[in-house]
């Protein structure tokens, strides 16, 4: 490939003609900017520049070649050519990050998983916070995921000797873990911490829990696997690619390198609308830039343009996530690998029964952290339906049931076990702990879950996981759904009661 | 008629004697001002002036002759006579409008139907906003219309090939539409946009959805029909007039000009109390003007006066809306037209069964956008009762069921289809989109509904409208009604939990 | 009796020796001040003065002799003796009242019954507002009284000819009234308006509704009866006195002067704790005054003193309200009068059945406006139990059922009729209307109730009261009781969704 | 033991080597500071000083010898040696306390139990308030304890002679008490009042109610017992010690000195997480001190350190509270004492049945004031299950049922009696009354409960405790659990209704 000087690179700095250099290669990404799932703005900020560090802050370098249709190599960056000014805003970003973290509480002051979230909200880069924290549309399900736990009451038994409490259990009949909790797969770990998903791998190893490694990680699979300690079991989460050969390759690689479970995501045939994230990504000035630089051949009306862009982004992502995925593909996967296969994202008893009929190893009852379909039920609410339908079909016990969504307390984990789960996935809390205090934070998070679960077990009269039974919870109102419409005038005219007032003006 | 000079016109500028000129004719509206449904104030502002532009901003010119009892032609305006000062406050109003729209977000930043409403609230003329947004009395039903959707949970199926999703469907067995949504009839479109209802007609044409054209439009029926594109199907909404000949004429005209459905409003024998709107219309200074100018012969006490005025307004409107409307009239309408007849505003299973027995084409389950009777049920809540009663009567499937009220999301539309609806009417969102961004806004609104519905269908495992079934939703708590009375003292003395605090005074 | 000069009167101006003059007589009220139901402070403000106008502002002059044990006549005020300064703070109070009413909205702007309450809250004397507005303890029932209506949904029927709507009905088989609403008995009307209860009498007469005249009125029964117009029917509310002869006399007088119903209050064997009112009445400086003047022989500890005082007040009131009242007394009353007897304050089906068995004319299902027992049920919630129990006992229809508590809308009245009530009592709204706009206000309030009820009836498809049936409401969740405990940490860390923001700094 | 001078004492003032003097003896507490249940900070403040007064402010002097493993006597304080400066901050603390109490309302203005809490929150030392007021984790159960009462409605009977109301009853078949309420056991009374638990003893004696004396009192058992008046019955609350001999001794002593009941706490095999309290105890600067002084041999990462510390605290407390406590121990206790044995902290019907089968005298249905296990049920909710299970087992009436948690009103007590309780325990309200107004405050609190209960009984138609029956309450929704997820966008765009506005700028 031909050499490209810094000066030549800098000439293509508009949406009409946009070049960037990554890893020594210069790419023409003019077509790609409108289909970038992360938004056009973030690329245009790097237009005409060496974007290697910005790129690596989020992605693995092996990602770029996959976009061969819209990301075209132009040449090799001539690093000996004269550099131009204004190529670097790293210092300003570092200053902003330091400002956000000023006076940050010490890890010792973190008492529960909510504390990590509260600190992450203040210290994370707003774009990263928005990506992690947002849910689909009105975020009803996002919040219901946790709220549902408060419709389940604990019924503790007393006078049981609980001197020794053992929170350990076995996952997929082979992996002994220190507690019935695993770190579930989340995309783009580098948004929160430069070490990305390997931070989670190391913390999981230190605390003997399982990490589920994501297809859309910002670290490469090899990086994550290399971060394991001796004897550390991990799982692999799979988005089935439109090109089944790509899928076969990655599955075989995961199996070869020792992954102990294949978790196939089945609840994301397309991306949900995460509007809080979309709101932040959308920038008025993008259209200005586009107009100014003469670009944008798509449609004529603004509304139309947006549609096309959204469709473009969907196309871009669809090379990773295939909307045609169906039960046939699961049967095909069974021929590809001997890893236990678990469906991630089952939301009805009927689909769980179908999974059990296929002889799968398990299902994860999950709504994808409330990021896909709003107003669907929380995982914990679906759990009793899954158990009941499996029992009705004579398939209960043939398959393990995992669940995720909204778990924040040891008591939440206890409730899931009581309602029939083998294990519980933790997503956002691990990202927040990682983003605020790194590996040490994630370890502390897992310690908190263990401490809380131990305490709950002790107070419930349980000394081991198998002691936890369904009659220890009252879930009779788990599916009770109410909404409130305030009686405005009546409330406005009502004068609230007050406690007696101090006469603070009196002299001492 | 005799010629009236500007000077003569200006002499009748009080509530004691009030003339206005509209379309070249001078009218004495002294009697009418107290019965004007839009309030006296808005007329008195134009007293003694050429009010043509103010009138056309809201009404069609063919409206005035219908008020022959209280609006009396006096003569023809002599446009060659000398004009007087102070006849024009158009500039001030335009300035106020510009101020409200300053810095308005671009259409591209609108992510959902609520966004149109949020922007409309800030940019619309307060009187127009109040008229569109207000509901009956305490607005319990207005808000319950949307809140009810949150008592319905989605139960998605996985591993269905959803590569191709088709949101199109057929309305009234003849009209193929791009999605199961239509623009329902709302009065006074010009309050929000100078183009009035024709803006909606054009957007509906561009997106291949049906518009239901209102009797009380501020554009004439001809204007709306002329705005259609080739092959565009529309419906006509009918308020039955006390004079059945007027009704017969308009129905025959609608049919002759190709309307494909006659939607007879049956839930508005009288106007509901929209107090937010009333609050704004009422102005202390009106009574001052009246007293000052010696007018007001009605009653003696202020309370009494208001009653009479309210009754007057009811009388004025009753020439358009007949409170005696009954089932006999529906049978008569069946003899008048061959258009399919649909009852708009049915709220019980019993009335739906009666409609089916008469052989009507359908019903719209609706509470008139919460503008008529407060604390009645939302359309979506009534839907299961209607389906159940029709099944019980052996009439299910003989008639189509439409529903409106509070629809704001594609998932709301999905839920209605799952519970048995053929289509869903959108009212206020189309007005807000029209009032903020005109035709382009309405098209964008329809695109949002389509995008959201496509996404929901994909995530639910449905590729076409007929895939949507009742078992995909949990509506078991749809009729659960709760209210809360806060335990004030207990809540006042409780000290809430807090996350750890940052020490922001620490040095960097 | 001996003559007492202004100077002698003024010497007894402390809690140790407290004289006041009322109607020309000087009383020693030293013992009474601690048992005054309205609190000691209000009397001590008048100590050593001619308190006639202050007294008449709240009470009828025939009240004083009833307190013969603790209120002792000392002599006759010598009005020819020299007056002292500082006897008059009327001007200051009038100024304060004028300040509160400054800019008060005109009656025409009052759209509903809540508006009267909102205006009363700002314009009434704080003590009067506290007395009228307060409820028992946490005021749960006070607010539940209205909140309960929102758990009842209306189910309107369509296509009924509602050109003519008649809201009139018959009470106690003899009185034709313009609407199924009456003004119920409330104590101390002069607190809100100098005309006291006669204002209500006149408004009731003007609008042809029934007023229930209270035993504890601040006007005399004669004053109220004299305020009637020709043919105006009224009822009498009775607190049974410990001295049954007193009761017999007042009942016979009421009957003789034409009262058409005797409503015996049965839910107030003792006074409820209205803490908002108590809070206001309690004043630190009272104890100071007492200590300073050497008085207060009761107990030694402050706590003990308060108890005794409270018991004293209970004793004082018990000469009017007898806690020993029982079913035997009702049977005795049946021998005393031929007026129809109605029990006011029944709260269970069982007691309603007992009343029907005794052959009484009716019951008022009521919790005394939430002023007696907190966390009891609202009248509207009890109504279905009463109807069901009467039906079960074969006594339904033998007795009329009235209901009060929280009625603020015509739709509330409609719901009560649908659930079996003959009529509905209005309490606080009539006091607020009276206190703000006098007779005209009360008439407007009744007009609003009529207008709203007419509108609801029209929209429900009812042309007369007897058209209103039980199947027109959904009350299936009327007894559903929920409470909420907020998930504080989860809610604190959640970042709410926002609509798009305006860029208000942009230039026009 | 050797003599230690003030100078020598002062040299050991760091976490690396920490001595304190208490009661004339100098102890080396270097090992103890990390396991102190009350936190390290509070000890380090006294390092190198005579901490006698600080110690006695919270603990009884007989406490120290129990920690013989980690608290080592070093010698005797040589009080004749030269004192050093800076030994005293008592004045500053007294000033702060005076400031908090400035303008404090008089006891007479306290109308209900919430008022004590409101005043305590403002006047107590923050550490003491946090210890008393905090509950486990999210404090859901803490608040639900009171909220549950609002899901029970009262159903009053009328026309019962209630001239004489008797609130007295009998506890454990032997103690006649003035009302069905007792003061339950709470730890560390001296935090709120220098007199500690003896203040409660005296108030209980004055009002003839039972006090349950706590194992973890800050006064000695002897001090409490000596504070009794003649004939005053009290109970003893027992934490079973890991050393059963210690337990035997204290039980025999309690019995010998006349305690009339042994209440064995069974719901606290380990301490709950009271995070509000933990938040306050944690101080950043502790780790600073430790680091600076070279101490802290535990682990290396901060997270690890905290874990060990927490485990240390658990170890420290476990010499008082044995997690191995089981049903066998209860049978053993039956052989040790003839006092009636009651299990405190039963939360299921099943465990109550087991207690009855053992022939115990009773159970206290309790969740430990919401301080142990969050999201468990309130005592009042569990009560009906306990009664039903006992009836089913044929054991109802064989055993008394007590209940505590969230009782704040006389009506709460009434509801518990109606649902089957013999008596009700009051915890925090007695601490708040004690901490604000001392003995007089606690007496007033008991008076308020009695006054409220009398009033409720009168209004319910009950003259004695045995008149209170189950059909007088509607508890059908006691176990209905709901949670709300707000529909943010919809609520944000909604414009609330407003009452008419005053024109306050108008002239008078």
Q: Which of A161, A459, A480 sits opposite D326 (nearest CB)?
A: A161
Write down the pLDDT at residue A436: 97
For chain A, how many helices (H) and strands (E)? 19, 17
What confidence tier does C493 reach under pLDDT thresholds 50, 70, 90? confident
Which of C:297-326 have CB within 8 Å of B?
none
Query: Helix or strand or coil: residue D384?
Result: helix
Task: Answer whether residue A239 shows pLDDT above 50.
Answer: yes
What confidence tier does A452 reach under pLDDT thresholds 50, 70, 90? very high
Calpha distance C301→C308 (Å, rounded)? 11
Write down the pLDDT at residue B299: 36
Domain for residue B221, yes or no? Answer: yes
- The answer to whether D239 is a known catalytic residue is yes
Listed range (A419-433, B34-48, C100-114, C132-146) with the worst mean pLDDT: B34-48
Does C471 touch chain A if contact means CB atoms closer than 8 Å?
Answer: no
Write down the pLDDT at residue D493: 84
Does D147 touch chain B if contact means CB atoms closer than 8 Å?
Answer: yes
Calpha distance D375→A158 (Å, rounded)? 16
Write down the pLDDT at residue C290: 37
Does C378 touch chain B if contact means CB atoms closer than 8 Å?
Answer: no
Q: What is the pLDDT along chain B (508 residues), one digit of tens a residue?
A: 799 998 899 889 888 899 988 888 899 988 888 777 777 777 888 888 888 877 877 777 777 766 667 788 899 999 888 887 655 556 777 888 899 999 999 999 999 999 999 999 999 998 899 989 999 999 999 999 999 999 999 999 999 999 999 999 999 999 999 999 999 999 889 999 999 999 999 999 999 999 999 998 989 999 999 999 999 999 999 999 888 999 999 999 999 999 999 999 999 988 888 888 888 776 544 443 333 333 333 333 343 344 344 444 544 555 678 899 999 999 999 999 999 999 999 999 999 999 999 999 999 999 999 999 999 999 999 999 999 999 999 999 999 999 999 999 999 999 999 999 999 999 999 999 999 999 999 999 999 999 999 999 999 999 999 999 999 999 999 999 999 888 888 888 888 888 888 887 654 4
Stretch A151-178: mean pLDDT, rounded? 97
Write out the catalytic residue numbers of B: 239, 267, 368
Domain count, chain A: 2
A–C interface: beta-carbon pairs under 8 A: 59
Do A235 and A259 touch, CB atoms closer than 8 A?
yes
Say which residue, B334 or A317, is predicted with more confidence: B334
On average, the pLDDT of chain A sits at 88
Q: What is the pLDDT of residues A245-283, one digit of tens each?
A: 999 999 999 999 999 999 999 999 888 888 888 887 765
Write down the pLDDT at residue B447: 97
Mutate to test the interface with A, among C119, C277, C493, C499 (most CBs of A within 10 A): C493
Same domain? For D328 and D390 the reply is yes
Dihedrals phi, psi of C210, to nearest 5 degrees: -90, 140
What confidence tier does C24 reach under pLDDT thresholds 50, 70, 90? confident
Domain for residue D290, yes or no? Answer: no
Mutate to test the interface with A, among D122, D306, D432 (most CBs of A within 10 A): D306
| Four-point Cα dihedral A377, A381, A385, A391, nearest 10 | 150
Closest CA to B436 of B152, B93, B110: B110
Q: Which of A350, A481, A499 sits opposite B489 (nearest CB)?
A: A499
Write down the pLDDT at residue B376: 97
CA distance D142 to chain B (A): 10
Radius of gyration of chain B (CA): 25
Write down the pLDDT at residue B59: 79
Mutate to test the interface with D, among C94, C273, C432 (most CBs of D within 10 A): C273
Token pair 């532009």 is found at B53
In B, minimum Cα distance to A331 occurs at B159
What confidence tier does D311 reach under pLDDT thresholds 50, 70, 90? very low
Do C162 and B375 count as a contact with CB atoms less than 8 A apart? no
Q: Which of D275, D302, D310 sits opposite A112 (nearest CB)?
A: D275
Which residue out of C233, C267, C296, C412 is catalytically annotated? C267
Domain for residue C488, yes or no? Answer: no
Q: What is the pLDDT of residues D257-270, one digit of tens each?
A: 999 999 999 999 88
Same domain? For B44 and B186 the reply is no
Domain for residue A190, yes or no? Answer: yes
On average, the pLDDT of chain C sits at 88
Same domain? For A72 and A120 the reply is no
Listed range (A408-422, C212-226, D479-493) with the worst mean pLDDT: D479-493
Task: Answer whether residue D89 shows pLDDT above 80.
Answer: no
Contact partners for chain D, using 3 or more CB pairs closer than 8 A, are: A, B, C
Same domain? For B62 and B163 the reply is no
Does D484 touch chain C if contact means CB atoms closer than 8 Å?
Answer: yes
Contact partners for chain A, using 3 or more CB pairs closer than 8 A, are: B, C, D
Same domain? For B262 and B367 the reply is yes
Write down the pLDDT at residue C501: 82
Do A148 and D483 count as a contact with CB atoms less than 8 A apart? yes
List the beta strands (DSSP E) in A158-232. 169-171, 175-177, 181-183, 210-213
Write down the pLDDT at residue B485: 86
Domain for residue B293, yes or no? Answer: no
Q: Which of D114, D279, D482 sits opposite B493 (nearest CB)?
A: D114
Do C503 and B105 count as a contact with CB atoms less than 8 A apart? yes
Same domain? For B186 and B329 the reply is yes
Task: Answer whether residue C288 shows pLDDT above 50.
Answer: no
Write down the pLDDT at residue B308: 40
Same domain? For A59 and A134 the reply is no
Domain for residue B292, yes or no? Answer: no
Write down the pLDDT at residue A294: 35
Does C143 touch chain D if contact means CB atoms closer than 8 Å?
Answer: no
Beta-carbon contacts of C87 under 8 Å, excluding residues fewer than 6 positions away, are: C6, C49, C50
Token digits for C383?
């109504």
What confidence tier does C89 reach under pLDDT thresholds 50, 70, 90? low
Q: Which of A122, A375, A484 sits opposite B502 (nearest CB)?
A: A122
Which of A:435-454 have CB within 8 Å of D?
440-441, 443-444, 447, 451-452
Domain for residue B171, yes or no? Answer: yes
Does C103 touch chain D if contact means CB atoms closer than 8 Å?
Answer: yes
Does B484 touch chain C if contact means CB atoms closer than 8 Å?
Answer: yes
Same domain? For D125 and D72 the reply is no
Calpha distance C177→C174 (Å, rounded)? 10
- The answer to whether D222 is a known catalytic residue is no
Do B7 and B81 touch, CB atoms closer than 8 A?
yes
Does B114 touch chain C if contact means CB atoms closer than 8 Å?
Answer: yes
Same domain? For D51 and D122 the reply is no
CATH of the domain at A338: 3.20.20.70
Do C276 and A147 count as a contact with CB atoms less than 8 A apart? no
Which of A:402-431 have CB within 8 Å of D?
409, 411
What confidence tier does C14 reach under pLDDT thresholds 50, 70, 90? confident
Same domain? For A168 and A222 the reply is yes
Do C127 and C97 touch, CB atoms closer than 8 A?
no
Q: Residues of chain D with pLDDT > 70: what percent?
A: 90
Which of C:62-101 have CB within 8 Å of B?
none
For residue B245, with 0-12 CB atoms within 10 Å meaning exposed, 13-18 middle and 19 or more buried, which class applies? Answer: exposed
Token pair 């510390």 is found at D309
CATH of the domain at C47: 3.10.120.10
List chain D residues with CB under 8 Å of B500.
279
List chain D residues with CB under 8 Å of B276.
495, 497
Closest CA to B383 of B473, B265, B457: B473
In B, minimum Cα distance to A385 occurs at B155
Same domain? For D375 and D435 the reply is yes
Task: Answer whether residue D92 shows pLDDT above 80.
Answer: no
Stretch A409-434: mean pLDDT, rounded? 98
List chain B residues with CB under 8 Å of A104.
502
Task: Answer whether residue C366 shows pLDDT above 70.
Answer: yes
Which residue out of D50, D267, D351, D404 is catalytically annotated? D267
Write down the pLDDT at residue C310: 45
Do C159 and B99 count as a contact with CB atoms less than 8 A apart? no
Q: Which of A114, A133, A490 sits opposite C489 (nearest CB)?
A: A114
DSSP H or E stretch at residue D334: helix D327-336
Query: Could you tell me the residue range of the domain that residue A252 belongs to?
Result: 113-272+316-474
Domain for residue B334, yes or no? Answer: yes
Calpha distance B104→B119 (Å, rounded)? 7
List the beta strands (DSSP E) in A44-162. 49-50, 72-77, 153-154
Write down the pLDDT at residue B508: 43
Same domain? For C142 and C20 the reply is no
Token digits for B159?
């591993």
The DSSP output letter for A376 is B
Write down the pLDDT at residue D282: 63
Beta-carbon contacts of B446 under 8 Å, excluding residues fewer than 6 positions away, are: B179, B181, B203, B204, B207, B209
Do D331 and D51 touch, CB atoms closer than 8 A?
no
What sign does the CA torsion over D173, D178, D179, D184 have?
Answer: negative
Calpha distance B265→C384 (Å, rounded)? 34
Calpha distance B323→D368 (Å, rounded)? 64
Report pTM: 0.91
ipTM summary value: 0.89
Does A232 touch chain B if contact means CB atoms closer than 8 Å?
Answer: no
């Amino acid at each position: 490939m031909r050499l490209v000087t810094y000066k030549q690179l800098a000439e293509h700095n508009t949406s009409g003609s946009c070049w960037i250099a990554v890893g020594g290669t210069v790419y023409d990404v003019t077509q790609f900017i409108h289909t970038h799932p992360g938004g056009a703005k973030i690329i245009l900020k790097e237009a005409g520049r060496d974007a290697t560090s910005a790129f690596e802050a989020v992605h693995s370098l092996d990602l770029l070649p996959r976009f061969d249709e819209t990301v075209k190599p132009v040449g090799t960056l001539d690093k000996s050519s004269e550099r131009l000014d204004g190529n670097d805003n790293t210092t300003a970003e570092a200053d902003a990050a330091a400002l956000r973290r000023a006076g940050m509480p010490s890890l010792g002051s973190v008492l529960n998983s909510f504390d990590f979230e509260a600190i992450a909200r203040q210290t994370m880069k707003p774009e990263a916070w928005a990506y992690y924290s947002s849910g689909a549309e009105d975020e009803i399900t996002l919040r219901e995921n946790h709220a549902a736990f408060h419709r389940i009451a604990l019924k503790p038994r007393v006078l049981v000797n609980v001197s020794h409490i053992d929170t350990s259990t076995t996952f997929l009949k082979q992996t002994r873990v220190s507690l019935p909790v695993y770190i579930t797969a989340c995309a783009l770990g580098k948004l929160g911490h430069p070490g990305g998903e390997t931070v989670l791998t190391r913390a999981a190893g230190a605390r003997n829990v399982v990490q589920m490694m994501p297809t859309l990680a910002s670290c490469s699979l090899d990086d994550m696997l290399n971060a394991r300690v001796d004897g550390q079991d991990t799982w692999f989460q799979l988005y089935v690619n439109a090109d089944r050969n790509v899928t076969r390759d990655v599955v075989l690689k995961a199996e070869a390198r020792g992954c102990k479970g294949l978790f196939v995501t089945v609840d994301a045939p397309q991306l949900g609308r995460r509007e809080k994230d979309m709101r932040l990504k959308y920038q008025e000035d993008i259209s200005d830039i586009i107009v100014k630089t003469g670009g944008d051949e798509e449609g004529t009306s603004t509304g139309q343009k947006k549609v096309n862009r959204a469709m473009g982004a969907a196309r871009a992502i669809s090379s990773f996530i295939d909307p045609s995925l169906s039960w046939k593909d699961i049967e095909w996967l069974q021929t590809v690998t001997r890893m236990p296969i678990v469906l991630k994202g089952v939301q009805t008893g009927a689909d769980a029964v179908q999974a059990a009929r296929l002889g799968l190893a398990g299902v994860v009852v999950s709504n994808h952290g409330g990021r896909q379909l709003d107003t669907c039920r929380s995982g914990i609410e679906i759990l009793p339906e899954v158990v009941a339908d499996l029992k009705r079909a004579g398939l209960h016990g043939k398959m393990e049931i995992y669940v995720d969504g909204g778990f924040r307390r040891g008591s939440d984990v206890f409730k899931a076990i009581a309602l029939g789960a083998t294990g519980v996935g933790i997503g956002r809390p691990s990202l927040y702990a990682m983003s605020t205090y790194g590996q040490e934070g994630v370890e502390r998070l897992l310690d908190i879950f263990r401490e809380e679960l131990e305490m709950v077990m002790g107070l419930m009269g349980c000394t081991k996981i198998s002691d936890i039974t369904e009659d220890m919870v009252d879930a009779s109102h788990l599916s009770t759904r109410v909404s409130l419409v305030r009686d405005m005038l009546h409330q406005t005219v009502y004068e609230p009661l007050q406690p007696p007032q101090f006469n603070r003006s009196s002299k001492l």
